[in-house]
């Protein structure tokens, strides 16, 4: 019997998903790693057990460079070692966009050792939630994600001929005869904007150094990206004490995320047999909406996916009604513990819930039970709008859904 399972790991305010397709073959796809302790406390044991059963990871997708998606991956690739002789589990391919994929070099001139040392010393980021002593090893060879992938010989973006993972004019990537992936974004437009952002930040950080194709700039890009991310953002929670109308909440004026790094998230559709899931990373809704309209016919809207991973942990700036008008699902995944940014926003939950009725109940799955979600534990609303709320058991490190 064919089985399509999604494991949503407890990843703090981050993301980490393991997708397992069991048909004639077993295909495993890991999407993001969350933080360093997400990997050590939760993901690692699953990978170890998979390897013990002679399974491998067919594909790892690192959607974009944010610590809540990438830090656990740095730890994993450090510990897994050489791709040809993995210490934990074999990995067939990795999708991750870095400096090397965006043609940013301005010269063929080789960096001096002094310049390389300067870049290395200034490309150090302390990983959040890394266990053990707070000893920063991020400046050494192999201690950033890109450096690990290069140094340890991983099969990196090979489905895209070593170029950036991006939209390929509706052409899917076949992992095997049973599993295919259609990348929706980033498009060339988002990659160009990311390139401009990265180049600007590198020029600020290294004003006297001309960019070339040295691998050290992959580390530098990770550094400037992580350092420019907002930190300690207040948790703005909308007061729900007087909110009695979900329709009004769902139709609050929308302001879209304008962040170039979120816009460059790898978003895709994974299809296994007759089922398909939509993975939205931290993407921008207008981009995904435009891409869905390219791939599917208007007469087929809304496209019913078997599951949808909600963008950016349920942020109000990353889900809009226009996108939800053309997609729907019986299963929605939201990974967050509510820290730092206060996700999910209740407006997003309302937008998902308050829509045209289908012949199914919409199930919303959360990695953590947050007090703001008590607002939706309204039996009358659940019956009227046909939805249910599900939480990870506190005794488990993940929440598993079979599709």
Domain boundaries, the chain: 3-130+138-402
Show the tokens assigned to 30. Answer: 């890991």
What CATH number was assigned to the domain covering residues 3-130+138-402? 3.60.15.10
Tell me the C-alpha distance between 325 and 309, whole Å.
16
pLDDT digits (tens, 9 = 90+) for 313-358: 999 999 999 999 999 999 999 999 888 778 899 999 999 999 989 9
* Beta-carbon contacts of residue 43 (< 8 Å; ≥ 6 apart): 9, 16, 18, 30, 33, 34, 72, 76
pLDDT averaged over every residue in the chain: 90
User: What pLDDT, on a 0 to 100 scale, did the predictor assign at position 33?
Assistant: 94
Tell me the C-alpha distance between 298 and 249, whole Å.
28
User: What pLDDT, on a 0 to 100 scale, did the predictor assign at position 57?
Assistant: 98
Tell me if 347 sits within 8 A of 315, measured CB to CB. Answer: no
pLDDT digits (tens, 9 = 90+) for 249-286: 999 999 999 999 999 999 999 999 999 999 999 999 99
User: Is pLDDT above 60 for 234?
Assistant: no
User: What pLDDT, on a 0 to 100 scale, did the predictor assign at position 13?
Assistant: 86
User: Is pLDDT above 90 for 140?
Assistant: no
Tell me the C-alpha distance between 67 and 344, whole Å.
18
160-164, 183-187, 222-226, 389-393: least confident range: 222-226
Which DSSP symbol is given to 169?
T
Band (147; pLDDT cuts 50, 70, 90) = confident
User: Is pLDDT above 50 for 138?
Assistant: no
User: Is pLDDT above 80 for 232?
Assistant: no
Which pTM does this prediction carry?
0.93
User: Is pLDDT above 60 for 136?
Assistant: no
pLDDT digits (tens, 9 = 90+) for 45-83: 999 999 999 999 999 999 998 888 898 999 999 999 999
Which residue carries 């909110």 as its tokens? 243
User: Is pLDDT above 90 for 225?
Assistant: no
User: Is pLDDT above 70 for 200?
Assistant: yes
User: What pLDDT, on a 0 to 100 scale, did the predictor assign at position 15?
Assistant: 94
């Amino acid at each position: 019997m064919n089985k399509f399972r999604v494991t949503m790991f407890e990843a703090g305010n981050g993301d980490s998903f393991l997708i397992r397709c069991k048909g004639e073959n077993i295909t495993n796809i890991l999407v993001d790693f969350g933080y360093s302790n997400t990997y050590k406390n939760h993901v690692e044991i699953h990978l170890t057990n998979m390897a013990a059963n002679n399974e491998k990871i067919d594909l790892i997708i690192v959607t974009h460079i944010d610590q809540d998606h990438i830090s656990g991956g740095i730890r994993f690739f450090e510990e897994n070692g050489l791709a040809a002789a993995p210490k934990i589990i074999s990995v067939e391919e990795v999708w991750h966009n870095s400096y090397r994929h965006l043609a940013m070099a301005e010269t063929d001139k080789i960096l001096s050792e002094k310049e390389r040392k300067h870049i290395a010393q200034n490309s150090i980021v302390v990983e959040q939630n890394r266990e053990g002593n707070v000893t920063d090893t991020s400046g050494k060879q192999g201690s950033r994600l890109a450096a690990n992938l290069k140094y340890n010989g991983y099969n990196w973006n090979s489905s895209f001929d070593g170029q950036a993972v991006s939209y390929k004019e509706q052409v899917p990537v076949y992992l095997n005869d049973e599993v295919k992936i259609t990348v929706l974004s980033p498009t060339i437009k988002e990659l160009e904007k990311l390139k401009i952002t990265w180049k600007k930040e590198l020029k600020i950080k290294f004003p006297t150094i001309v960019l070339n194709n040295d691998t050290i700039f992959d580390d530098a890009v990770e550094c400037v990206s992580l350092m420019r991310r907002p930190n300690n953002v207040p948790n703005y929670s909308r007061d729900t004490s007087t909110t009695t109308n979900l329709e009004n909440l769902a139709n609050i004026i929308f302001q879209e995320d304008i962040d170039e790094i979120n816009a460059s998230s790898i978003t895709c559709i994974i299809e296994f047999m007759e089922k398909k899931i939509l993975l939205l990373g931290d993407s921008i809704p207008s981009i995904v909406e435009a891409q869905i309209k390219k791939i599917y016919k208007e007469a087929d809207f809304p496209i019913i996916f078997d599951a949808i991973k909600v963008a950016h942990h349920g942020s109000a700036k990353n889900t809009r009604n226009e996108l939800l008008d053309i997609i729907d699902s019986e299963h929605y995944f939201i990974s967050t513990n509510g820290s730092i940014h206060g996700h999910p926003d209740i407006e997003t939950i309302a937008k998902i819930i308050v829509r045209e009725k289908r012949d199914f109940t919409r199930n919303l799955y959360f990695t953590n039970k947050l007090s703001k979600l008590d607002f939706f534990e309204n039996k009358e609303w659940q019956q009227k709008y046909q939805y249910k709320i599900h939480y990870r058991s506190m005794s488990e490190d993940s929440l598993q859904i079979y599709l």
